[in-house]
Homo-oligomer: A and B are copies of this chain.
Amino acid sequence: MRLAVIGAGAVGSSVVELAADYGHSVTAFADSGSAVVDAAGIDTDAALERKRTDGAVGSVDPSEALSADYDALVEATPTTLGDAQPGFGHVEAALERDRHVVLANKGPVAERYADIRELERESAGRVLFEATVGGAMPVLSTIADFDPRHISAVRGVLNGTANFILSRMATEGLDYEHVLAEAQDLGVAEADPTFDVDGTDAALKGVIVANVLADDGTEYTLTDADVEGIQEITGSALELAREDGRTVRLVAEVVEGSVRVGPRLVPENAPLAVSGTRNIAQLETEHAGQLNISGRGAGGPETASAVLADVGRLE
């Protein structure tokens, strides 16, 4: 397939870097200020090198990527809330041209799911978004395989930064502020970690799952989620949990139309007690019991793998 990749952060850049390995070409690649377009396939190494050295992937206006020749648009700009722009506009532009869309950006499917589905109905293009929930883990495709009607609940640890912090606090007996600073030094936490530690990121993933599970057309957005973060968890609370054979994890839970995210006590040896930056999703199925999927929930190549799996499904 010919891909137009919008967004040149870790995920977009990894998609551009790996596309050929999966049998696809990149005909357009844009960051927020520039683009490079070539219907015969751009020179991906040169574009990534320009991004590293000059800070710009190309020399034409970014809007030219949207009007380029491509089969699928990969939307990998940062997640935004509310109107989910500019990501939503990119999805709209592609669908109006009857092109497919693969999202790594959570905004459009967390905040404007009904709008996206309506645009998709009027288009010959399809919208897939495996990468938005659990990075490399095949959560949404497994829900689709089992049929959302036969899944009663999904819960999981869906934010690697928060999990890294809770894991380190529990094993090292350190306080929140100390471990957060360490995580920032290691690049595990961003300079502004708000959405990771206050539960927003996990809640957006829960909302996306709720939208996929809703078979009555109900639309969920972040405002429907009940969200609590990990900022108030103390080292002594973790120590108390540990004496009882348990630990604390930031758990997202989607059940019967409700989305809840918050710190939960879980047994230390339970599947939910993944450590470090790993994520886990648990699907409660009607006919096949509980299914657990765990893996890397974030990272450039990891998330790009999920994007490219979606691209493969569109062929």
Interface set of A (CB-CB < 8 Å, partner B): 14, 18, 21-22, 135-138, 141-142, 144-147, 149-150, 269, 271, 285, 287-296, 299, 301-302, 304-306, 308-309, 312-313
Contact = CB atoms under 8 A, between A and B. Distances in A.
A233 B271 CA distance: 27
Given A271-B294, A312-B145, A136 B288 contact: yes
A84 to B, nearest CB: 26
Contact of A288 (B285, B292, B301, B313): B301
B287 A305 contact: yes
A287 to B, nearest CB: 4
B305 A285 contact: yes
A142 B288 CA distance: 17
A313 B144 CA distance: 10
Nearest to A135: B288
B312 A288 contact: no
A295 B296 contact: no
Contact of A295 (B138, B149, B292, B306): B292
A289 B285 contact: no
Given A138-B141, A271-B294, 6 more contacts: A145-B312, A145-B313, A289-B295, A291-B294, A291-B295, A292-B295
A149 B305 CA distance: 13
Contacts of A306: 288
How many identical chains are in the complex? 2
A268 B292 CA distance: 18
25 contacts: A18-B287, A21-B149, A136-B285, A136-B287, A136-B289, A136-B291, A138-B291, A141-B141, A141-B145, A144-B312, A145-B313, A147-B308, A271-B294, A287-B301, A288-B295, A288-B299, A288-B301, A288-B302, A288-B305, A289-B295, A291-B293, A291-B295, A291-B296, A292-B295, A293-B293
A296 B313 CA distance: 26
Contacts of A292: 292-295
Nearest to A269: B269
Nearest to A289: B296
B145 A291 contact: no
Contact of A291 (B137, B150, B287): B137
Contact of A147 (B269, B289, B296, B312): B312
Contacts of A269: 269
A292 B136 CA distance: 11
A22 B291 contact: no
Contacts of A299: 288
A135 B142 CA distance: 14
Nearest to A310: B145
A145 B287 contact: no
